[in-house]
Amino acid sequence: MIDEIITEVLPNNVTLFAVSLVNDKNLWLIRAKELDIVNKKSYVRSLLIMVGNELITTNYADTKLLLAEIKLFDKGNKQNKYTTLEKFDGDINLKLHMTNAHIYISKAEAHTISDIYFESRSGVSMARILEYELKFTAETLTRLLHKSKLLDKIET
């Protein structure tokens, strides 16, 4: 990308949070939250999706795209980037593609994922994510998650 700066070290006022989206499938929303003490505001600086220790989305735009595919569950099509509709055990499920595997997401889980995503945004401003998004590679995010001990929580 043009002038993309990869975040190697989190700024002191930014904290990573792992929000469980579907516990038994180890599906997580990783949120980087900036606390601006002077102006008494909180800002989201990054929102990413992980399954286990695999980073599915690497930027906010891709996270929004995946969430749109999940939200439009019944209207999936061949042009979806992350998901396809598939019959599994007689039910129609959303198949989330991963590097070497996949997971199935039910309609109820898709609804829950959308709800939790929107709830995770309450009380924080999204204003800075568009211009000042923290960009990670899978390797740098993994290192930062290990450092903050969040990857231990995700992998259990």
What is the tens place of the pLDDT at every residue in 58-112?
889 999 999 999 998 877 677 889 998 888 778 889 999 988 889 999 999 999 9
Domains of the chain, by residue range, sit at 14-155
Residue 7 is predicted with a pLDDT of 64
Taking CA atoms, 147 is separated from 113, 144, 156, in Å, by 26, 5, 16
- The strands making up 102-105's β-sheet, listed across from edge to edge, are 83-88, 91-97, 102-105
List the beta bridge partners of residue 133.
Answer: none
Burial of 89 (0-12, 13-18, 19+ CB in 10 A): exposed
Question: Between 6 and 137, whose confidence is greater?
Answer: 137
Helix (H, G, I), strand (E, B) or coil at 82: coil
Taking CA atoms, 31 is separated from 14, 93, 121, 124, in Å, by 10, 26, 9, 11
Q: Is the pLDDT of residue 5 over 70?
A: no
Helix (H, G, I), strand (E, B) or coil at 86: strand
Residue 52 is predicted with a pLDDT of 87
- The strands making up 54-55's β-sheet, listed across from edge to edge, are 14-22, 27-36, 41-51, 54-55
